[in-house]
């Protein structure tokens, strides 16, 4: 492509609305343009990068045996009502009506549509397993669309759905998809981690996220420094911290005037924080049931774990007035001496073994000391409900846990029979018996992956694309547009790259070299080839964007040199 004719408008200033680096650089390099909040046009450069990610995804899905289809964006409400999700999806689902006032959704995901197809088409175990995928625009009216392509309201997703005669077959496909996703992110040239993720109400071990590692990531990932354990902090398993056992003492109610925070309790009563227990009051948003969650004073309640224990969609902390209405006193709540008729108690595993801990006194300005689980109170449920912290022991090998930030770019999930049951997707097994299919679903945020590549690969001058997904791999630049020799050499090299099927841009714009370099750095071409002073000798400069190195290469070797370097950068 000749840049003199190419539609690319780079900006000097960063548009104010952009907060994260990928958003800033995508706008500044003229790759995308905003139409409305969370809605963007891909201009030629941006679309080229998107298509490169898309093609890698497509090739790896095909190689893994999945088959590409293309489903409608427009989905009738009836299907969503059948699965029960018309209401559950809430405000995130974009809804419209046709001229006959019939309701439709703009697809946020396609479990319903694909299950409808399969239940009508597949009736025998002989046609299973089956994995179908598409690459398509998704619509989600996100509460906070932000960060450009990272969290859009209209975005590109690859979504795949698999159907199976039994759980073993689903397990196999899950591993197959895990391997395919690993190849996708490797081929994109990204540093990433596959981590255990929340599988919500469905439970089980069948949920893995693929995170592109970047400081700006919205998610925290916990990983072991000794083994391969890695999990989203939302779900990472905590280990029980053993404390020395002491002889149990008599429980006592003591005055603690104005001492309601754990730090103050520790100081006022002169107890180690490991011997304090706090009570957090939560409500199930679906049933309004109230829970008292007991946890060690220095730990935090993990709300994702809590919602899974309760088996609900979400939980929220009680408001001050809700606490008061239950007869409790904020800052002094505890499991001993409270009216628990309307409250279920959930204890984190960490508190069961603490000898002689403190707890709220359920009277203003009081606390209990020498409280012991089992003797003084019990919980309905004892479970892992706390957030893992860096430095604690790995649940798998006992090694030390560390944390990193990540951007969730892919998610694979064993759905089991959730949708196949709701929509009655059944088949006849070997014995002619009707059975419900097992399902898996597998998503990659194609546009989010493109943005996360920029979050991970940039410097103060602009983007540093990995070659595999760069809009153009090489930019060929005549140093001086007035030098016929340099221009001719640049043209020759440009043609050689084209003949070798390497995506190349020729910067034949009538601009100064300094301007071209700056623009090139911003756009992020992995390599620049400059035909300059040594053009007469057939020697060019090859600049590597990532390392800033400059090599002198003969014109005949430059294509093979770039090919070699592409493996590395």
Q: Which residues bind ligand ATP (CB under 6 A)?
A: 109, 140, 142, 151-152, 155, 157, 408-411, 443, 445, 447-448
Alpha carbons within 13 A on the beta-carbon side of 270: 0
Helices (runs of H) and strands (runs of E) counted in the chain:
15, 31
Cβ 415 to ligand ATP, closest distance in Å? Answer: 12
Cβ 425 to ligand ATP, closest distance in Å? Answer: 20
Q: Which is nearer to ligand ATP, 43 or 150 (CB)?
A: 150
Cβ 178 to ligand ATP, closest distance in Å? Answer: 14
Q: Which is nearer to ligand ATP, 157 or 345 (CB)?
A: 157
Q: Which is nearer to ligand ATP, 42 or 368 (CB)?
A: 42
In this chain, which residue has its C-beta nearest to ligand ATP?
445
DSSP 345-369: EEEEHHHHT-SSEEEE-SSTTEEEE
> Which residues have C-beta within 8 Å of that of residue 240, sequence separation ≥ 6?
349, 350, 353
Cβ 16 to ligand ATP, closest distance in Å? Answer: 21
> Which residues have C-beta within 8 Å of that of residue 120, sequence separation ≥ 6?
none
The secondary structure of residue 318, as a DSSP letter, is P
Q: Which is nearer to ligand ATP, 370 or 447 (CB)?
A: 447
Q: Which is nearer to ligand ATP, 408 or 508 (CB)?
A: 408
Q: Which is nearer to ligand ATP, 40 or 569 (CB)?
A: 40
Structure token pair of residue 295:
């946890």
Tell me if 252 sits within 8 A of 238, measured CB to CB: no
In angstroms, the CA 90 to CA 142 distance is: 11
> Which residues have C-beta within 8 Å of that of residue 122, sequence separation ≥ 6?
128, 130, 163, 425, 427, 437
Q: Residue 451: which of 35, 92, 140, 38 has the closest Cα?
A: 38
Cβ 120 to ligand ATP, closest distance in Å? Answer: 25
Place of tokens 């893994």: 64
Cβ 22 to ligand ATP, closest distance in Å? Answer: 12
Cβ 413 to ligand ATP, closest distance in Å? Answer: 7
Cβ 253 to ligand ATP, closest distance in Å? Answer: 45
Structure token pair of residue 128:
């299973």
Q: Which is nearer to ligand ATP, 443 or 526 (CB)?
A: 443
Q: Which is nearer to ligand ATP, 207 or 275 (CB)?
A: 207
Alpha helices per DSSP H over 254-378: 262-269, 303-310, 320-325, 349-352
Cβ 445 to ligand ATP, closest distance in Å? Answer: 2
Question: Within 10 A of 487 (CB to CB), how many other CB atoms are there?
Answer: 18
> Which residues have C-beta within 8 Å of that of residue 161, sequence separation ≥ 6?
110, 111, 114, 115, 131, 132, 133, 439, 440, 441, 442
Q: Which is nearer to ligand ATP, 142 or 491 (CB)?
A: 142
Place of tokens 């179908």: 132
Cβ 154 to ligand ATP, closest distance in Å? Answer: 8
Q: Which is nearer to ligand ATP, 236 or 359 (CB)?
A: 236
Q: Which is nearer to ligand ATP, 138 or 278 (CB)?
A: 138
Cβ 446 to ligand ATP, closest distance in Å? Answer: 8
Give exposure, 269-304, as e/b (b: 16+ Cβ within 10 Å): eebeebbbbbbbbbbbeeeeebbbbbbbbebebbbb
In angstroms, the CA 410 to CA 158 distance is: 9
């Amino acid at each position: 492509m000749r840049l003199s004719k190419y539609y690319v408008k780079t900006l000097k200033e960063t548009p104010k609305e952009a907060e994260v680096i990928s958003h800033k650089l995508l706008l500044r390099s003229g790759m995308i343009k905003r139409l409305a909040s969370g809605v963007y046009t891909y201009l030629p450069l941006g679309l080229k990068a998107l298509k490169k990610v898309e093609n890698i995804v497509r090739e790896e899905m095909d190689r893994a045996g999945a088959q590409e289809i293309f489903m409608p964006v427009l989905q009738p409400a009836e299907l969503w009502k059948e699965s029960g999700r018309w209401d559950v999806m809430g405000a995130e689902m974009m809804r419209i009506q046709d001229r006959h006032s019939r309701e439709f959704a703009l697809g946020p995901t396609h479990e319903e549509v694909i299950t409808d197809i399969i239940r009508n088409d597949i009736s025998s175990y002989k046609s299973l397993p089956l994995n179908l995928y598409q690459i398509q625009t998704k619509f989600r009216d996100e509460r906070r669309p932000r960060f450009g392509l990272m969290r859009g309201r209209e975005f590109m997703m690859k979504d795949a759905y698999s159907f199976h005669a039994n759980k073993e077959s689903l397990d196999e496909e899950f591993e197959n998809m895990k391997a395919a996703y690993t190849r996708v992110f490797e081929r994109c040239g990204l540093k990433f981690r596959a981590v255990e993720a929340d599988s919500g109400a469905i439970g089980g071990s069948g949920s893995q996220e693929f995170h592109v590692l970047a400081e700006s990531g919205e998610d925290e990932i916990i990983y072991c420094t000794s083994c391969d354990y890695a999990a989203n902090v939302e779900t990472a398993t905590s280990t029980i911290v053993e404390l020395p056992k002491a002889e149990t003492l008599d429980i006592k109610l003591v005055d603690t005037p104005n001492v309601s925070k754990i730090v103050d309790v520790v100081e006022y009563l002169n107890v180690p924080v490991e011997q304090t227990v706090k009570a957090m009051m939560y409500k199930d948003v679906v049933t309004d049931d109230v829970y008292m969650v007991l946890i060690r004073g220095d730990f935090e309640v993990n709300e994702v774990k809590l919602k899974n224990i309760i088996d609900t969609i979400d939980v929220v902390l009680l408001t001050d007035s809700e606490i008061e209405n239950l007869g409790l006193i904020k800052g002094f709540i505890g499991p001993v001496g409270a009216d628990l008729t309307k409250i279920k108690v959930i204890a984190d595993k960490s508190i069961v073994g603490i000898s002689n801990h403190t707890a709220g006194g359920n009277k203003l300005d009081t606390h209990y000391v020498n409280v012991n689980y089992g003797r003084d109170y019990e919980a309905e449920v004892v479970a892992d409900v706390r957030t893992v912290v860096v430095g604690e022991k790995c649940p798998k090998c006992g090694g030390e846990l560390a944390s990193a930030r990540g951007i969730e770019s892919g998610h694979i999930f064993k759905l089991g029979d959730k949708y196949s049951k709701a929509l009655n997707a059944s088949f006849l097994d070997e014995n002619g018996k009707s059975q419900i299919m097992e399902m898996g679903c597998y998503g990659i945020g194609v546009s989010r992956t493109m943005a996360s590549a920029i979050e991970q690969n940039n410097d103060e001058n602009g983007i540093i694309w990995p070659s595999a997904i760069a809009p153009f791999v090489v930019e060929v630049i005549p140093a001086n547009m007035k030098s016929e020799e340099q221009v001719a050499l640049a043209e020759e090299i440009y043609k050689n790259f084209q003949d070798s099927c390497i995506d190349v841009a020729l910067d034949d714009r009538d601009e100064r070299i300094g301007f071209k370099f700056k623009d090139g750095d911003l756009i992020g071409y992995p390599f620049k080839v400059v035909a300059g002073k040594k053009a007469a000798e057939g020697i060019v400069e090859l600049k590597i964007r990532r390392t800033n190195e400059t090599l002198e290469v003969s014109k005949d070797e430059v294509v093979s040199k770039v090919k070699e370097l592409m493996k590395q950068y």
